[in-house]
């Protein structure tokens, strides 16, 4: 047994020496690429800082139906479920990579019979066959001398993190798509209501024009013109109905349901609150966007892969050992005489492979450099998204206010023209013109309110907030 013990002492010494140099990692130290950001956005309205966008920001619109649609989408949308499974895949691959950092232990059993005992073509009068029964444990371990396995694990973990951020991006996009589809549905409903109101008014004017023509105070041309305006107004209804139905169908897809299962009760954009946006947004909020964080996670993975490639230039050390029992008869197998062990240490590396390893290193470095530029671009792109949204919030607010003032004037002008026409104080063309102006102003007011609400959605999406609480609840 002294030889057995001495062998294990040698192996222990080799293992200790290997672990002492295991800190020689070839992975470069990761440093976040420098991309200067302004302290505040160019189009904010003040200097006060704004906290990050609230979770479940869609509740800011004050619609229970919209809240139900969004939360159903976060539970049932199939794209989001697929993104969750991609996270599980990435985490599993990270587990595979982490497994290489520890020894592997396997068991084996073996039963064999060889005949003839002396080999093929021999004769043995005493015994024609040779039997062997064996059971043992085998251990193997690749000492991570140069940090190759740890770098591979770091890359896999970063990839898993990127999958998590990708799911957050899918969730944010999903929420904004649901909200915008619902806004479009209500916008179409409002525009249909405006069109129907305009049609009713045109029919009343047509009755007045017809009566005037019958008593000789109007002409058939005026009657025909009004009839033509009425028919054109009627022709806009199918287009608006089609658009509204398409938005309902889109909401069904986003919420993981069939169109038959979607029943919407909202009737107007006026039922929704306009979310308030505080001034002075700090641009550092951009770094919390999941797409930016995903880009950086890709950078971390690429940096770790450089370490994997570099480590291939150096030799690898593998330790193996087996301990067990074996004998020609089962009754003898677990006796002291049947005990055996093997131990081995293998050190090897590549002397020449025609530059393949160096090419892998060059590729990993170039890939990292590419992702650095993509990361910087993602930050600048997110900055533009927020600036665009802030501009939209500001000017769509001004637009809606101006449009409502224009609508009030158009309604007053139309009422005055109708009363004047009824008593013969103005001509029909004036009535027709004010009628068209009022309808256009009413339709534009609906679209202006939609634009203002949509700008708020764009700002929340651009800031990358809103679904964290729901994601946690679902995963929990």
Per-residue pLDDT 10s for the chain (476 aa) are 444 344 444 444 444 444 444 457 788 888 888 877 776 676 665 544 545 666 788 999 999 999 999 999 999 999 999 999 988 898 888 888 888 888 888 988 888 887 776 666 666 555 667 788 888 899 998 888 788 888 888 888 888 888 888 888 899 999 999 999 999 999 999 999 999 999 998 898 888 888 888 888 778 888 898 899 899 999 999 999 999 999 999 999 999 999 999 999 999 999 999 887 665 566 677 777 888 889 989 899 999 888 888 888 888 888 888 988 888 888 778 888 888 889 998 888 888 888 888 998 999 999 999 999 999 998 899 888 988 998 999 899 999 999 999 999 999 999 999 888 878 788 888 888 998 999 999 999 999 999 999 999 998 888 886 665 544 344 43
Is the peptide bond prior to 116 cis by the omega test (within 30 degrees of 0)? yes
pLDDT in tens, 43-56: 665 544 545 666 78
- CA–CA separation, 111 vs 132, rounded Å? 6
- CA–CA separation, 345 vs 144, rounded Å? 14
pLDDT at site 325: 86
- CA–CA separation, 39 vs 342, rounded Å? 66
How many Cβ atoms sit within 10 Å of the Cβ of residue 222?
A: 22
Residues of the chain with CATH 2.20.200.10: 1-26+104-143+318-348
Strand arrangement of the beta sheet that strand 316-327 belongs to? 104-114, 130-143, 316-327, 339-348
Residues of the chain with CATH 1.20.1600.10: 31-101+146-314+357-475
In 3-state terms, what secondary structure has residue 248? helix
Instruction: List helix spans (H) across 147-219.
Output: 148-214
Which class does domain 1-26+104-143+318-348 fall in?
mainly beta
The size of the chain, in residues, is 476
User: Is beta strand 130-143 parallel, antiparallel or unpaired with respect to 104-114?
Assistant: antiparallel
Please name the helix (run of DSSP H) or strand (run of DSSP E) that holds residue 355, with its range, or none: none
CATH of segment(s) 31-101+146-314+357-475: 1.20.1600.10
- The verdict on pTM exceeding 0.85 is no
Nearest-5° angle of CA 474, CA 475, CA 476?
90
Q: Which of 254, 207, 192, 124 is nearest to 443 (CA)?
A: 192
Burial of 20: CB neighbours in 10 Å, binned 0-12, 13-18, 19+: exposed
In 3-state terms, what secondary structure has residue 244? helix
Assess contact for 243 and 447: CB atoms under 8 A. no
pLDDT in tens, 155-194: 888 888 888 888 888 999 999 999 999 999 999 999 999 9
Assess contact for 345 and 319: CB atoms under 8 A. yes
């Amino acid at each position: 047994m002294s030889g057995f013990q001495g062998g294990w002492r040698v192996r222990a010494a080799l293992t200790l020496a290997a672990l002492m140099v295991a800190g020689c990692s070839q992975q470069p130290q990761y440093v976040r690429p420098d991309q200067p950001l302004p302290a505040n956005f160019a189009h904010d309205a003040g200097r006060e800082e704004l906290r990050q966008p609230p979770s479940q920001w869609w509740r800011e619109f004050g619609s229970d139906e919209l809240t139900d649609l969004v939360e159903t989408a976060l539970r049932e949308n199939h794209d989001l479920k697929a993104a969750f499974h991609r996270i599980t895949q990435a985490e599993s691959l990270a587990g595979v990579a982490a497994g290489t950092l520890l020894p592997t232990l396997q068991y084996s059993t073996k039963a064999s019979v060889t005949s003839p005992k002396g080999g093929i073509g021999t004769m043995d009068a005493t015994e024609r066959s040779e039997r062997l029964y064996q059971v043992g444990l085998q251990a193997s371990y690749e000492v991570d001398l140069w940090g190759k396995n740890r770098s591979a694990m770091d890359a896999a973990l970063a990839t898993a993190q990127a999958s998590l951020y990708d799911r957050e991006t899918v969730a944010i996009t999903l929420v904004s798509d649901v909200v915008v589809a619902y806004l479009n549905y209500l916008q179409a409903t409002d525009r249909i209501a405006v069109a129907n109101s305009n049609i009713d008014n045109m029919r009343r004017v047509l009755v007045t024009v017809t009566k005037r023509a019958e008593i000789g105070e109007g002409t058939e041309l005026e009657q025909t013109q009004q009839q033509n305006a009425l028919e054109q107004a009627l022709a806009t209804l199918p287009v608006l109905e089609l658009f509204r139905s398409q938005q309902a169908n889109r909401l069904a897809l986003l919420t993981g349901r069939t169109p038959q299962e979607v029943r919407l009760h909202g009737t107007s954009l006026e039922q929704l609150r306009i979310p308030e946006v505080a001034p002075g947004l700090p641009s550092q909020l951009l770094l919390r966007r999941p797409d930016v964080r995903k880009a950086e996670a890709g950078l971390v993975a690429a940096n770790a892969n450089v370490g994997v490639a570099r480590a291939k230039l150096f030799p690898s050390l593998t330790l193996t050992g087996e301990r067990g029992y074996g004998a020609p008869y089962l009754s003898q197998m677990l006796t002291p005489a049947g005990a055996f062990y093997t131990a081995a240490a293998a050190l090897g590396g590549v002397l020449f492979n025609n530059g393949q390893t160096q090419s892998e290193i060059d590729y990993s470095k170039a890939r990292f450099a590419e992702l650095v530029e993509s990361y910087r671009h993602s930050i600048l792109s997110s900055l533009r998204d927020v600036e665009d949204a802030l501009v939209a919030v500001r000017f769509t607010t001004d637009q809606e206010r101006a449009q409502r003032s224009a609508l009030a004037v158009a309604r007053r002008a139309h009422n005055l023209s109708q009363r004047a026409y009824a008593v013969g104080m103005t001509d029909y063309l004036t009535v027709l013109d004010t009628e068209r102006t009022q309808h256009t102003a009413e339709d534009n007011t609906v679209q202006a309110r939609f634009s203002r609400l949509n700008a708020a959605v764009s700002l929340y999406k651009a800031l990358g907030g809103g679904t964290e609480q729901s994601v946690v609840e679902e995963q929990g």
